Each structure stands twice: as C-alpha cells, then as structure tokens.
Amino acid sequence: MRTNVSAVALCAILAMNVGAWAGDVHIVIDTPMAPPSWALLERELIKANSEACQEFFAKYFDERGYLECVARWGGDDGPDDAIENVADWPVLHALGAPDSILQMYKKAWEGHLRQYTAAKTKDVPFARDGMYYKEFPCMMDWMHNGEGLRVFNLQGLSDPTNADFSRRTRRYAGFYMNEDPGAPNYDSQHRIIRSMFNGSRGPLMRKTTGLDWAGDPIEVENRFHLGHGERSYAEMLAHFKDYNDTVGDHPQNLAATTLATNAFMLTGETKYRAWLLEYVDAWLQRMQDNNGIIPSNIGLDGSIGGATNGKWYGGVYGWGFSVEVPQTGAIANRNQVHRAVIGFSNAFLLTGDRRYIDAWTNMIDRINSNSKMIGGRPMYPRMFGDDGWYGFSAEPWSFGALDCYFWTCDPKDRARVPANEWLSFLDGNDPDYPVRALQRDFRSIREKIAGLRTDPTTPDTRLADDPMKFNPATVGTLRQLMMAGLDPGRGAAPLHCRLRYFDPQRHRAGIPDQTAALVEKMTDDSVTVTLVNISQTTPKRIVVQTGGYAEHQCLLVEHQNVLDDVNNSSFEVTLAPGCGSRLHVKCERYANEPTMLFPWDQR
C-alpha cells in the first residue's frame, strides 16, 4: 500500500529541487511535531562538534595538512598516532556535519601521506627510505596499522567515488593478496599473513627488537611527555625489549581484512571477498582445532604455535604476553587478541553467516568458564601461560560482546553484554538517556577545547599523539541515537549501523540540515526511528538507508497508520515544515551485498 500524498505536501515536494533523486518509495510526513529536546540537542551538538574541529585543525595542522609535531617512527609515538588526531571526523560528516569536516580530514590524510613518506629513520632499518611507502605503512603490526587507517577506512562513507580513495583502496587490499611483488605478505598455501610486522614492503621475517618498536633515539627529558610514561629513551627501549616473537601469523592481522572489505564494497569484485573468506575461514578452523580459543601464534608452516615452540598462547600481544614496565618493575598483561573480532565481523558483513559470530561468543563463554573464586567472589581470566589461565579480573571477559549482540539481536548474546545505558534505552527502560547523554557530550567538547587553548606544547616539543586528547569530535551518542551504530573503534573496522541518512538535494551523505533522528528500538527484523523537521518554514527530504552499506533490505515501513511496501535498501521521506513521525521499519538483515555506493548510484 502506498501513501496518499496531500495536495499541500505534493506542492511542497514539487517546489523542491526537481533534479534531485527520488527513490521508488516516497513517504510524506505531514503530522505536526514540536521539536523534541533530543532533536534540538542533536542539531546543536553537530554544530558544536563542527566548530570545535575547525579550531582544532587550525591549531595543529599547517596549510599542507601536515601535523605540526616531531614526526618519528615507533609504537610509542608514530605515524598511526598522527592521523588519529582526526579520528571520528568521518563519522561526524556522515552524520550530517558540514562539508568542511570532510575537506579537513581529507586534507589531513593527504598531508599525512606526504609527511610520513618524507619522514625517514636513521637506525630502524626498514623505514630508512620512508616511514610510508606507496602511501602505506612500510612495515608495522596491525594494532598500529589499524589505528593509522581508521580515518581512511571510513572515507567511503562520504566520498566513495573519489579517484584517490578508489585507487588506494585497491592498492592497499592488494598488499595482502600478493598483487604487489614487493609485498609478499600472504602465504596462500598455509593461509597466513607471514609476520606480525607487515605492510607495503612486505613481512619482517626475523625477530623484532626494541629498536624496531621504539624508533630512533630521541631526547625525552624536559622535552616530551611520553604516553606510556617513559622518562628516557633507554626506558622506551626497555618497554619493548621483550617484543620479539613476531614471525608467523597473529590474530590482530585479521584487521587487515577491512582492506579487502572496503575494496569489495567499492568495486563489487569477487576476488576481494574470496580472499577475505579464505583467510578468516582459516582462523575459524584454528579456533576449532584449539578447543574454541583463538591461538595467538601460527607458524610459517601453518601450525598452531609453530613459531613459539608449539605454544598456542605465544607471541607478542598473545595470550601469554606479560612484560615488565621499566619505570616501576611491575608486570603488565598486554594481550591484544581481542582485535581479531574485526575479521569475523567483516566476514559476517559480507555473508550474514552466523558461524563467524557464534565462534566468538562461544570463545567468550569458554574463557569465562575458567573463572575461580578469589576473595569470596568469582574472578575471570584474561591471560593464559605455561601454568594455565591467569590475569584474573572481577568482570567477565566480554571483548566484542556488545558487537556480537548488535549483529545477532539474540537474547542469549545480550546476556553477555555488561551494563549499557544505550541498550537499556533501546529496551525501553531509560527514556531520559538521549537528553542526558547528549548534554554530557557538550561538556566533553567544552573541556577539550579548554585543554587545547591552554596546551603548552610547541611543534618541536609535541609528539604526534599529544593533541589526540584534545580532538573534540564527540560522536558516540549521536552515532548510537541517530544510526543505531557501533563504534568502529581504533582497529579500523567499518561502520556497522542499522540506519544511515542521505541528503538527496545536496547529493551527499548525512542527515539534512534542521532534521533529526532518534532510533528508539531495535530488534532482529525491525528498527523504530522518529524523524523530525525542526524547520517551521521549509520541507526537508531525507533518504533513509537500511545498514551502513545497504546490507539490509527494507521490506515495509509503517507510519501514521499507513503501511508502505519498500523492498529496497533505501526509501525517501519528505518532512513537511515542523512535522515528524515515528517510523517502524521492517527489514531482512544482511540480505544484500554491502556497497559503498550512495542510494542513487546503486541502481
């Protein structure tokens, strides 16, 4: 059944940009709605974010897009930290912030590539000819590679047809598919990425040293304040002295699958999908062979623990990776295997196959089944070593639990998620959450700008990660409330969300000016959203897409006692001046191959 459009509303539609795209289904909302508090706060928060980002960019970036800092290599402070200073800006623009946000983070990315291609090491051997090579990290682990790609990997939300983005997306994926003979990162016979250190110059096929991780010698005392608390370069080397076992595959390499995911969503070429599933399926099999726990080292022969004396828990950032903190002598547990969830989520995004998510949730249960009573209460492990599970904590191991519930909407997966205000709101138990959370985010922006304005560092006493704490982009609440979206995080994951919005008049991503959206409920096959036009004089058109990348198929939309058949991944809504309505959107999730193309280009 299709909506009956009133004469007044029809005239308003015709008066709008007649050259703009119109979808197969056009819903007209003409029920008056005074702007709710959450709607006014959303619009003001987008504005506050945008203004604060302008000030941040003007202070810390020069006219070339270079970050004004001491550019150096290393795991303490390096290229990845530099571009993280504009982290979350792609999501901010995709929500509806002005195009200046897109222009600034693209300028920062272009400057970043030039700045760190020109920056060279003297002592670290593999970066002597440039920390970046072919516009990509020459060789580093995927905790840092992922952090350095978290801005680029989301550029496709707003700018998928950009020629440079398209070219780089293909090239970056090719580094892990052996398409570049200078970067033989992947062994297709054993289905492994051959080293934890990898990139555009290929894999590092030897044990790493503290120098490889810490970077060239640098003056520290009275000049820099290092993020890990080291007081001298000697302590920087000591921090990484045990970071040696990097040969062979490691779970965090699964973050590299986002490159293939992006290439597939951009081009539709099946080779990217095939490589991704081949690699993720290999890890899925290793989990099954290791009693449901993902191993943290795979040898060059493809065997579990093959490069760490047969220990499945071996390797840098592995289950048994506990090292000494040089400043204090304390032992720190630095297990990073949880970043592997990105690979399983990418496979799920491309297939909708629950086995990728079930493997992760089953692992959560297996880990927590090793709890024990300590001091009269249950404690849960984080680590595994020669003597079994250790590193116990009062909270169950729950890395990826929220994400898994988001993907499945299965009540048994909800039970693993720690207390969460957003989910409580979606469950109907905390109606004040939107206003409370949005108001809280204004305070965050205010405090960051206050810190920026009193920052005493100068370009020659500033490391790349120093400004990060002042990055004012505060999008978490907006992403949840408007899109029902997960945090892509620091591992360079795609944006997983239930709804996205596009402006058909301006042909851009993001909800149009003076409109707002609130996702109020989410189930396996539906999402409920209220759309409102704050303007009292001008009608607004919104294209609503189901899924971050049109991966969901919208079947029906119920609104104002009318039911519209959609059967598409998007539909268009016209909001008359001062009007709004609650829409109940019925979907078949993960029914479509995901794409970066905007709705009007998907036809």
- Break the chain into its structural domains and give their ranges: 7-30+498-601, 37-159+209-225+433-470, 166-207+243-418
pTM of this prediction exceeds 0.75:
yes
* Per-residue pLDDT band at 375 (split at 50, 70, 90): very high
Residue spans of alpha helices (H) in 290-383:
341-351, 355-368
- Average pLDDT on 69-96 reads 97
| The pair of three-digit structure tokens given for residue 118, joined into one six-digit string | 């020109």
The DSSP code sequence of 479-496 is IIIII-B---TTTT----
- Give the model confidence (pLDDT) of 299-347 as tens digits: 999 999 999 999 999 999 999 999 999 999 999 999 999 999 999 999 9
Whether the predicted pLDDT of 187 surpasses 90: yes
Average pLDDT over residues 352-369: 98
- Is the pLDDT at 8 greater than 50, yes or no? no
Residues 6 or more apart in contact with residue 491 via CB below 8 angstroms: 142, 143, 146, 147, 150, 252, 255, 339, 342
Q: Is the pLDDT of residue 6 over 90?
A: no
Torsion over CA: 44, 45, 50, 55 (sign): positive
What is the rounded average pLDDT of the residues 444-454? Answer: 98
- Strand, coil or helix: 526: strand
Q: What percent of the chain has pLDDT over 70?
A: 96
62, 79, 134, 155, 428 from 182: Cα distances, Å: 33, 21, 11, 26, 55
The pLDDT mean for the chain works out to 95
CA 81, 83, 84: angle at the middle one, nearest 5?
60
Contacts of 109 (CB under 8 A, 6+ apart): 65, 83, 86, 151, 152, 155
Q: What integer pLDDT is reported at residue 20 of this predicted model?
A: 47
Question: For 7-30+498-601, CATH number?
Answer: 2.60.40.1180
Q: Report the largest interatomic distance among the alpha carbons of the chain, rounded to a whole angstrom.
A: 77
Q: How confident is the model at residue 527 (pLDDT cuts 50, 70, 90)?
A: very high
Non-local (6+) Cβ contacts of 285 within 8 A are none
